[in-house]
Amino acid sequence: MVASPIFGLWSNYRPRREPLIVSIFINVAANILYAYVHIPHSHNKYYMLAARTCVGLGAGNVAVVRSYVAGATTLNERNSAMANMSASQALGFILGPVLQACMSFIGERGVTWELIDLQLNMYTAPALLGALFGVVNIVLVIAVLREHCVDDLERSFNNINSISEERVEVTGDAEEGIDQVAVVTSNLLFFVILFIFAVFETISTPLSMDMYSWTRAQAVYYNGIILAAIGFESVLVFMAVKSISKITGDRLVLLGGLVIIFCGFLILLPWGNQFPKIQWTGIQNTTTNGTFSATTNVTSSPPRNDLSEPTGCPAQQTWCQYIPVIHLAQYITSDILIGMGYPACNVMSYTLYSKILGPKPQGVYMGWLTASGSGARTLGPVFVSQVYTSLGPRWAFGAVCGLVVAAVVLLGVMYKRLIAFSLRYGRLQEQVAA
């Protein structure tokens, strides 16, 4: 969130290779620090925190990448290029956990290289692999990446077969023509989209443990499979969006994605008369207001098994005693819908955003968009963990549904303003001429 606008500003005035190389180097150094965090004799947690913070700073280069793609493509090419980039990112999210799982076979002890005090084990191997990939990325940026900028407005002016949004030649200061209201709206919509997905990512493990009595290991394993499947689904959606957006336009795809996400969270609202298993470990069979409701199916204090991990919905979460269970079919259906709606919204939001900005360098603006998404991924987990734990899934998912409805209303109100810079500038010129 902090680094994205800085790298974006840097890329506006200097070759984009510079912020890319520096940001990747920060990421490499952070992963190496992570691998060596065991060496200090004290304050290790602070070194760990520093390593993870630097990884976050290095990740701010996504604003530079998006601004590069926006500047290197015409409006006709933009949707396809952004979809390809998003698909690559989704594929990385799929393969990363797979590689990490494969490295778990190295074990906790692993191999020690005493000459450089390096411990190669299941915890350090993923970080070291990340550092290696970072070095490869730096080499590729230096050897392959070339500065490339397409003046899609000028090209479209000379191309009579271009779409209407590209037929306008823009003169004068492009900054003056940017619709700042549309820019703010796009940032708000992107915040909501990333907030929703952060909520979904965060709640999946505790929700499945509470509702289906899965152990921690089972929840991580099964949800890992689900997230991997959603990742593959996202890649397919990204590919489909390239064709669909050419027919319907970016705004309708964004609207459709929000509607699908709304349906996904609406399905998660509990109903019926079946209740989750209560985890009674450490809880006495008495309450301040008498006996429990008969729907908890408790007649005596359940036996404790200290040799096994307790499972079920913790009794400290009082809503477990009166909120119906979310059926597995509901959960899987919701996963499929959210896995379909989120990638469509994600790629369309910053594709449309890049078109709204027009031909000026977009580094800083893309930095603000990335920062808004990072802020959402920071606040989303805090929100859902507090609301879910205190009030239960009805309030948590109901609030998310309300947020999606607000986003749909905002999109509807601002629909006519969320258009490409060239089309808006052309309309302004027509109004002046009239």
- pLDDT over threshold 50, residue 156: no
* Banded model confidence at residue 281, pLDDT cuts 50, 70, 90: low
DSSP string, 116-181: GTEEESTTTHHHHHHHHHHHHHHHHHHHT-------HHHHHHH-TTS-GGG-----S-HHHH--HH
Q: String of b and e for 347-374 (b: at least 16 CB within 10 Å)?
A: bbbbbbbbbbbbbbbbbbbbbbbbbbbb
Report the predicted TM-score, pTM, of the whole model to 2 decimal places. Answer: 0.74
Domain boundaries, the chain: 3-270+326-433
* Banded model confidence at residue 407, pLDDT cuts 50, 70, 90: very high
CA distance 322 to 334: 22
CA distance 145 to 217: 42
Q: For 223-255, how does the pLDDT look when each residue is reduced to its tens digit (9 = 90+)? A: 878 888 888 888 888 888 888 988 888 899 999
Lowest mean pLDDT among 95-104, 240-249, 298-307: 298-307
Do 178 and 422 form a contact (C-beta atoms < 8 A)?
A: no
Residues 6+ apart with CB under 8 A from 274: 324, 325, 327
Lowest mean pLDDT among 9-18, 247-256, 357-366: 357-366
Superfamily of domain 3-270+326-433: MFS general substrate transporter like domains (1.20.1250.20)
Q: String of b and e for 381-407 (b: at least 16 CB within 10 Å)?
A: eebbeebbeebbbbebbbbbbebbeeb
CA distance 120 to 222: 27
CA distance 359 to 74: 10
pLDDT at 120: 83
